[in-house]
Amino acid sequence: MIFEAVSVIPEVFDPYLDASVLGRARRAGVFEFAAHDLREWTHDRHRTVDDAPFGGGQGMLMKPEPIFEAVEDLSARGTARPHVVFFSPCGAPFDERAAERLSHEERLLFVCGRYEGMDERVYALADEVLSVGDYVLTGGELAALVVIDAVARLLPGALGDDMSAVDESFSPSGLLEYAQYTRPASFRGVGVPEVLLSGDHGRVDAWRRQSSVERTARWRPDLLVGAELTDEERELARRVRAERTGEGAGDGSPLQ
């Protein structure tokens, strides 16, 4: 897969993408990445990418001309047209399902905004617009890195154990991942659940499923909506929520 980003600060990407798991995957050829300086598509002496908004207001907006030229130029390069992604608070929430879907694209191009935002006309270039959360960032670079990280780790060969991405939170069951422990078996008086020391893989699998349901009910009960749970698991989730909130799961609860 090929990841690309258009940004006014393209140098921020490589330090992260060259480190740790993603760095190893990148060096192994699991994915390629290129950052493009938006100022390459400007034509004035000052390489201007922003201007004051019509109608007044604080801050500066990114101009449409460089962005249109950048996306059109980059789209014409190579054999595969990129899937173009913009970031905006009005975009669709980015989640694991979106990451899985994007992992099947051959080439992704992220356009990273800055300042007070971008001229509204540039969104005509987008194949999709995403939001990584209901908060404001100073630019789209961090959002692009979030998406690249989530997508890249789903690519074959990205993780040391290709099953590592299967059992994690949100995938494929949609529940949170089960609790995990490592040595020492006892730490400050708190021991590891006996079943994990038993060597009985069947019991371990059953415990992990129960732990996944319990953790989801405790921390993210919204994820239980539409989850495929047995009657016993749904009752377990109700008990966990009742213990946490001090009351039962009444009408309208995600556990219903």
Please give the annotated binding residues for S-adenosyl-L-methionine, written as ranges. Answer: 113, 132-137
Strand partners, 7: 37
Please, are residues 84 and 76 in contact by the beta-carbon 8 Å criterion? Answer: no
Q: At what angle do helices 20-27 and 141-152 cross, to 10 degrees?
A: 70
Q: Which residue has the tokens 């740790």?
A: 20
Provide the 10 A C-beta neighbour count for residue 67: 23
Nearest-angstrom CA–CA distance, 245 and 248: 8
Nearest to 48 by CA among 59, 56, 57, 40: 40
8-state DSSP, 249? -
| Burial class of residue 139 in the structure, from the number of CB atoms within 10 Å of its CB (0-12 exposed, 13-18 middle, 19+ buried) | middle
Binding residues: 113, 132-137
For residue 79, give both structure tokens. Answer: 């054999």
